[in-house]
Amino acid sequence: MILQTWHILPAAFIIDLIFGDPEFLPHPIRWMGKSIAALEPRFRNLSIPLFISGAFFSFFLIFFTWVLSFLIVKATRNIHPVIGIVTEILMIYYCISAGCLEKYAMDVYGALKQNQLNDAKKKVARIVGRDVEPLTEHGVIQASVETVAENLVDGFISPLFFAAIGGAPLAMAYKMVNTLDSMIGYKNERYRDFGKAAARMDDAANFIPARLSVFVIALASQILSGRGSIALRTGIKEGKNHSSPNSGYSEAAFAGALEVKLGGPSFYGGKLVCKPAIGRRFANVNLNHIKQACDLMILSAMLWVVILMAITAFFY
């Protein structure tokens, strides 16, 4: 089921910018998380190696998500084409998170602007996986910028990439891949084997979008500050300077666009993780870079929507 209506993508994006992710609304991604938590024990108890049961677990949930989404879209289109289009718009809206990411990052900016470091740590904890207690003001700023850069890919570039290829069902399947990775794709004792397949699937799903993001970010950077070539060079040259095979590309492009140092050691679960540095030759981040990162992220998202609109309109 390819995305046949070019205006579905911008409509989903506009809804995301306006409404973000209201806590009071039911959200399919939260349902995905609940289904993962509920079914994990059943697959863990299978009399097969954990790596295999974890792979079956991941494949089952991803395939089930695609089938269910496909049937919902098909059923609503059969009721009326407009209802089908609205359903697909809402599904894709639920798959993207540029609006709420900007809001959360700017909440951190606002707290730091008022010299409320502890409040800023609480707010940044909503969007980062690292330990926030040891962070200085500089650490909170850097964590915010890095998260905005990294989440542009899995929170926007990737889901719309798959939506353009296979409509809302494929975008929803991607979000299940991403949710599985965020919940079980760890290298700790509990998930090292069981979550390995989920982590590999997420790496594979983001491989192309992460690298395409460098060019989109560079274009946005050129429009905003004339630093497109720096963003492009840094993204290509230093994109591999990350523990993740994909996250470093958007982060490196942001480092070049903002001319700031990113990466380096951070604490996760009380343990120091020495991540490679990105943009060593640049200056340290300051408070204004949070806002600049958000501006860069939103413009990159807009450009990505325009690019995909043009492609879908041309081919379909």
155 and 96 in contact (C-beta within 8 Å)? yes
Q: Is the pLDDT of residue 22 over 80?
A: no
**What is the distance between the alpha carbons of residues 6 and 11, in angstroms, rounded to a whole number?**
10
Least confident of 104-113, 258-267, 290-299: 258-267
Q: Is the pLDDT of residue 2 over 60?
A: no
Mean pLDDT computed over 159-179: 96
**How sure is the predictor about 1, in pLDDT bands with cuts at 50, 70 and 90?**
very low
Q: Is the pLDDT of residue 121 over 50?
A: yes
Residue of 198, 176, 169 lying closest to 50 (CA atoms): 198
Least confident of 189-198, 225-234, 268-277: 268-277
**What is the distance between the alpha carbons of residues 71 and 130, in angstroms, rounded to a whole number?**
38
Mean pLDDT computed over 72-76: 97
- pLDDT value of residue 89: 96
Mean pLDDT computed over 190-216: 96
Sequential DSSP letters for 71-108:
HHHHHHHHH-HHHHHHHHHHHHHHH--HHHHHHHHHHH
Q: What percent of the chain clears pLDDT 70, i.e. is strictly above it?
A: 98
Give the residue, 53 or 312, on which the prediction is more confident.
53
- CB atoms closer than 10 angstroms to residue 286: 12
Least confident of 48-52, 126-130, 219-223: 126-130
Mean per-residue pLDDT of the chain: 92
Helix (H) or strand (E) holding 119, with range, is helix 117-124
What dihedral angle (degrees, nearest 10) is formed by the CA atoms of 246, 250, 251, 253?
A: 130
Q: Where are the domains of the chain?
A: 8-315
